[in-house]
Structure 1
Amino acid sequence: MDTSTPTAEHTYSAITYAVDERIATITLNRPHARNGYTLAMADELDLALERADRDEDVRAVVLTGAGDHFCVGADLSGGGFDVNEEGSDADTWQEPAGRCSKRIFAMNKPVIAAMRGAAVGAGLTITLACDFRLGSNDSRFGLVFVRRGIFPEGGSAWYLPRLVGTTKALDWMITGRVFGADEALSSGLLTSVHPSDEVLEAAYELARDLRDNTAPVSVAVIRQMLNQLSGEPSPFVAHDVDSRLIAGLPTNADAVEGVMSFLEKRPPAFANTVEKDVPAWLPWLADNAAGQTAPGEHV
């Protein structure tokens, strides 16, 4: 378990952060408010996700909620939407759900959302950039913005059609209706559905499999290949990236280890690290180094 002394960077009021056996758990921690989403929670999620991503010892992240609900959306207990931050510039201000989804989009680590009960509004949109979304039998989902006279956030108008198709995205967003786990699973929103008391353990089981059997550099590169290249108008850019990556296999220590562990029928021990071994020539990294937009900058 991560027992580092809290600092200003590591002190949280709306979430908790823990690392155990190379798996980071980030928990929305306002169960008295059914984990209603706040500006403080948004900022703390951004910090915690970055912390996990920079920690080479962390191999996977589980995002969950304390209590019976994952997150019921924006905390409306103040009678409105908390968007006025002191000193903020209206032209550069970033809405709170997007701060989380944007961070997840740009990460090198896989992120697994484990959701019980309600995941509505921001409580759903912050998970759309996750690699896996696990729900429970009692899960209820909703993109209820039209029923509050507001607009979708978290980059959900970009993520949702990619996950479930335009027809289903229009259905959920234009009606704002609430739907259950079975519909979410059959539509492709969820990876799997579990009994309520088993969904978190299912997320950890998946995280342990990723930790024990996958190469961190391969995971980092592949999740960004999917995020960055799947929207290209043709497969040619992806093929160019594929070709250069595959051409480097003879000098790739992880590739050698992957083959040898398979032949020797033993668990792999991948030595490459994200910080040192992700190829700097990858187009999204090269653009960023050249001063272009970072991954997810306009989500």
Structure 2
Amino acid sequence: MTVADDSVVSTHDQSATPVQTEPAVLYEAHDSGVAVVTFNRPERMNAWGNPMGTEFYRCVEAAEADPGVRVIVVTGKGRAFCAGADMGGMQALSADTAASGERTDFSALVAEKHPYFLTQLTKPVIAAINGAIAGIGLSQALMADIRFAAAGAKFTTSFARRGLVAEYGISWILPRLVGWSVAVELLLSGRTFFAEEAAELGLVTEVVAGEQLMDRVLAYAEDIARNCSPSSLAVMKHQLYADAGMGIVETSQKAEKLMHDSMQRNDFIEGITAFFEKRSPNFPPLIAQSA
């Protein structure tokens, strides 16, 4: 939950921060089936804290519940995606802990959910990393299913440089994305690296010029929304995260049953029919199918 080191983002004087007048998180559902959730504290480099945390999960839940939304895109406004936790909140927590000697309650800072909540959704989540990303911001992006990044965006785990630990599941997800040795190096060094290296390591799918990032991500998301079965996406997403701790035999047997179930749904018939008719499939919304 730590903020980035000084090479990524400068520490802000909270007393000099303007009063927040706009929502801390913006939400927009497009007719294309894509919902965009935008961190909207650019003057704080979208530092994580409340009300942003609470508003973020509220927006994500709204997208998950909306049958018209098939893909969720998360991005940041300004020059950062999310440069870690709000230093003002961290300083207050540190002072309270030192004064009381009691265990710190982070719930006020991280909101009611942990970043892995994104993996539990039925809809794909795509992170459009528009700028600096660190600490809990990086944890959030890694829990998205797919990541794109703006050229030159700075990344860091940064936990070791703030006297903290690998937070909120990043020690689980990072090795699965980049391999054990790379994950160890990134966590233990806390060094800064750029989007181009992140792509080489497999941390992001594609690096795009900053001014083209959202156009590219929206086109990618709209292609999924237009051509992929919502029920297939939901089942496969569950398979990916649930099967990560299972053996190959159990996984294969489970997949066989799921495959049989999928062939009983109208989506399968529509997908095959659309293929032979050389047209885009017309898959119904996920909620309508399961009703």
Whether TM-score is above 0.5 comes out as: yes
Counterpart Cα distance in 2 of 1:58 and 1:82: 37
Matched, 1:156 2:170: yes
Counterpart Cα distance in 1 of 2:198 and 2:112: 21
| Pick aligned residue for 1:60 from 71, 76, 98 | 71
Secondary structure in 1 matching 2:141: coil
Q: Structure 1 residues 82 and 275, CA, compared in 2 at 3 Å: closer, same or farther? A: farther
Higher helix residue share: 2
1:130 deviation in Å? 0.6
Higher mean C-alpha deviation, range 73-82 or range 52-61:
73-82
TM-score of the superposition, structure 2-length normalised? Answer: 0.83
Identity of aligned residues (%): 32
Contact kept, 8 Å, 1:146 with 1:174, in 2: the verdict is: yes
- Please name the residue that 2:271 is paired with: 258
| Pick aligned residue for 2:42 from 7, 27, 31 | 31
Matched, 1:236 2:249: yes
Secondary structure in 1 matching 2:72: strand
| Pick aligned residue for 1:206 from 204, 220, 226 | 220
CA distances 1:82-129 after superposition (whole Å, capped 9, x unpaired): 587xxxx96996571892522201001101100122011112111111
Secondary structure in 2 matching 1:251: coil
Q: Structure 1 residues 57 and 248, CA, compared in 2 at 3 Å: closer, same or farther? A: same
- Matched to 1:267, the amino acid is S
| Pick aligned residue for 1:46 from 53, 57, 68 | 57
Contact kept, 8 Å, 2:227 with 2:280, in 1: the verdict is: yes
- Please name the residue that 1:178 is paired with: 192
Contact kept, 8 Å, 1:50 with 1:103, in 2: the verdict is: no
1:184 deviation in Å? 0.6
Contact kept, 8 Å, 2:73 with 2:127, in 1: the verdict is: yes
1:155 deviation in Å? 1.3
- Please name the residue that 1:15 is paired with: 25
Query: Aligned-residue CA RMSD in angstroms?
Result: 2.5
Q: Structure 1 residues 212 and 81, CA, compared in 2 at 3 Å: closer, same or farther? A: farther
Counterpart Cα distance in 2 of 1:187 and 1:62: 22
Matched, 1:226 2:236: no
- Matched to 2:73, the amino acid is V
Q: Structure 1 residues 58 and 191, CA, compared in 2 at 3 Å: closer, same or farther? A: same
Counterpart Cα distance in 1 of 2:160 and 2:112: 18
TM-score of the superposition, structure 1-length normalised? Answer: 0.81
Counterpart Cα distance in 1 of 2:168 and 2:38: 18
Instruction: Describe how 1:107-186 pairs up with structure 2 within 5 A.
Output: 107-186=121-200
Counterpart Cα distance in 1 of 2:68 and 2:276: 27
1:201 deviation in Å? 1.2
Counterpart Cα distance in 2 of 1:81 and 1:210: 43
Counterpart Cα distance in 1 of 2:161 and 2:41: 24
| Pick aligned residue for 2:280 from 246, 262, 267 | 267
- Matched to 2:211, the amino acid is D
Contact kept, 8 Å, 1:49 with 1:103, in 2: the verdict is: no
CA distances 1:242-292 after superposition (whole Å, capped 9, x unpaired): 2112223553211000000000001101126246439xxxxxxxxxxxxxx
Q: Structure 1 residues 260 and 69, CA, compared in 2 at 3 Å: closer, same or farther? A: same
Larger RCO, structures 1/2 (Cα 8 Å, 6+ apart): 2
Secondary structure in 2 matching 1:126: helix
Contact kept, 8 Å, 1:98 with 1:126, in 2: the verdict is: no
